[in-house]
A = this chain, B = another copy of it.
Amino acid sequence: MLDLTQDVRALTAAIVDIESVSGAEKALADEIERALAALPHLELDRSGETVVARTSLGRGERVLIAGHLDTVPVAANLPSRVEGDLLYGCGTSDMKAGVAVALKLAATVPVPNRDITFLFYDCEEIEAERNGLTRVSRDHPGWLAADFAVLMEPTDGVIEGGCQGTLRAEILVTGKRAHSARSWFGVNAIHGIEPVLARLNAYRARRPVVDGLEYHEGLNAVRVEGGVAGNVIPDACVVTVNYRFAPDLSVEEAQTHVREVFDGYEVRFVDAAPAARPGLTHPVAAAFAAAVGGVPRAKLGWTDVARFSTLGVPAVNYGPGDPNLAHQQGEYVSLSKIVESERAMLDWLTT
């Protein structure tokens, strides 16, 4: 059985050595459920390979601490090995070090100053519909109720607040086909995207400050496609744009903005994921920031914190791993950073 009394560094190594590639998290989820079941101060729930444990002390505030159990495919980088301060192996940074910190807190803080919900979930590294957090937020939204959430993804020990939203839209330009030897009988849709690109080139991205963090938007073409045959004036061309928007905009507001930018063109929205506010102005978050130290920064990419935001729970990313090492064959984590992270979290939840 997983020994939660061991040092957080050894615990990280132990968890890393239980392989848990996306879709194959059962062994690790079982070990964690068994270890947590031995702790009388926690109530347990399980959905698939997602394990939820919570204290119920009737505190005025509840915080949620979450981590995903899965890793990208193993790349001849297991079992883990230590070299000096570094623990090498698949999932060390992303994000079993964070999971180990959460498990240590679960085991060693039976009477926290705030009620805590621990969430260990599956299938974060793959398609959203298999994501354990998606499933739990649909089937058991009550499990996720909290005033603030910390997702222990690798951030190098710095708070990354909220996340930007993302949407993709197709800008459609039409024309009229003709044989290219008599091109004046046609209307060239590829030539017709020039003004669309001109608007993108002239676009000034916003850098709004939300809850004290500066975000940085972007509106970019990520695909362009047009052409019928080598001898045909094309009658259609599609520019796919990706808008990354700050958490002061809803998906609907972001869509309205894109429609305005491409006023006069047919705009078709392909997909969208909402932004998440960092919520660092909330007292429980402020206490967290004080305990962790450093200068919180805005999270520009989209992460699972947005799923909490959708449920009305402000959320941040914070973890000991190095985000630049995620998904790399040579992935490692600094052992001293894991210890630092555990100490900061303990501080937040006990003093």
Contact = CB atoms under 8 A, between A and B. Distances in A.
Interface stretch (A178-186, A333-341, A343-351): A178-186
B244 A240 contact: no
Contacts of A190: 197, 221-224, 239
A239 B168 CA distance: 23
A146 to B, nearest CB: 26
A332 to B, nearest CB: 22
A292 B341 CA distance: 93
B201 A194 contact: yes
A237 interface: yes
Count of identical protomers in the assembly: 2
Main SS of the interface on chain A?
mixed
A112 interface: no
Given A193-B197, A233-B222, A184 B216 contact: yes
Interface residues of A, number: 45
A225 B227 contact: yes
A306 to B, nearest CB: 12
25 contacts: A164-B181, A166-B181, A166-B231, A179-B301, A180-B242, A182-B301, A183-B205, A190-B221, A190-B222, A190-B239, A191-B200, A191-B220, A191-B221, A194-B194, A221-B227, A221-B234, A222-B227, A222-B231, A222-B234, A223-B230, A223-B234, A224-B225, A227-B240, A230-B240, A230-B242
